[in-house]
Structure 1
Amino acid sequence: MSASYLARRAAQKERVRILYRRALKDTLNWAVHRHLFYQDASDLREKFEANKHVEDLDTIDRMIADAEATYNKWQHPDPYIVPWAPGGTKFTRNPTPPPGMEIIYDYGREDND
């Protein structure tokens, strides 16, 4: 086997691994309950396993491109984002005050003149 064949094959394996992980994570966005997710994840795995016997490099490239296009077409429009991650609901909810602003903690001791 030539070095170019092995390099191309390694690149294909990496693309498939990344695609599978992205699709599996996106499945969580579509499945409301865990029992639904487990079935969808099993179906996704079967789709990937059905084509693992293919050896022709051009066919594999074409299949990967088709799978990536399908993933991009069916990607969830409003994915779940962990609340404290960038884009999440709690991200920078309580930002630090701008410089020069003073916070006084003397609640209940206001001057009543």
Structure 2
Amino acid sequence: MSKPVLPFTEANSKRIASLFRQSLRTAFDSSLKFDAYRNETIKIRAQFEANKHISDANELERVVAKAKEKLAEWAHPDPYTPPCRPGGTKYQRNIPVARGPLVPGDW
């Protein structure tokens, strides 16, 4: 098992912020309307705020593992992908024409 990250350090702050963003993305993938998404974000924020005081490294690891399990459970089978990102509907739709020689070699 890896060494637990101490609370209130920069590494832990980045890890928790990443977990928070993943939670928001997961909520966005599973909600169909903005008002439902907004209600979920408020609930997620309240859960993170409730655990803000944890100072024991072992308890922090337990809470983070529980949050990751919940994220895996709620993961959407077809998550939203922005159109121009890899895997999106417009990704590499209009690739620029190659300006180099079409046939390799010197003729």
User: How does the TM-score come out when normalised to structure 2?
Assistant: 0.77
CA RMSD of aligned residues (A): 2.0
Paired with 1:85 and 1:53, the residues of 2 have a C-alpha distance of 37
CA deviation string 1:23-48 (max 9, x = no partner):
11221111111111110100111111
Partner of 1:76: 76
Paired with 1:14 and 1:61, the residues of 2 have a C-alpha distance of 14
Percent of aligned pairs with the same residue? Answer: 33
**How many residues in Structure 1 have an aligned counterpart in Structure 2?**
95
Larger Rg: 1
Asked if 1 retains the 8 angstrom alpha-carbon contact of 2:27 and 2:40, the reply is yes
The partner residue of 2:6 within 8, 23, 34 is 8
Partner of 1:86: 86
Paired with 2:51 and 2:84, the residues of 1 have a C-alpha distance of 38
Cα deviation for residue 97 of structure 1 reads 5.1
Partner of 1:108: none
Q: Any stretches of 5+ residues in structure 1 without a counterpart?
A: 1-6, 102-113
Q: Any stretches of 5+ residues in structure 2 without a counterpart?
A: none
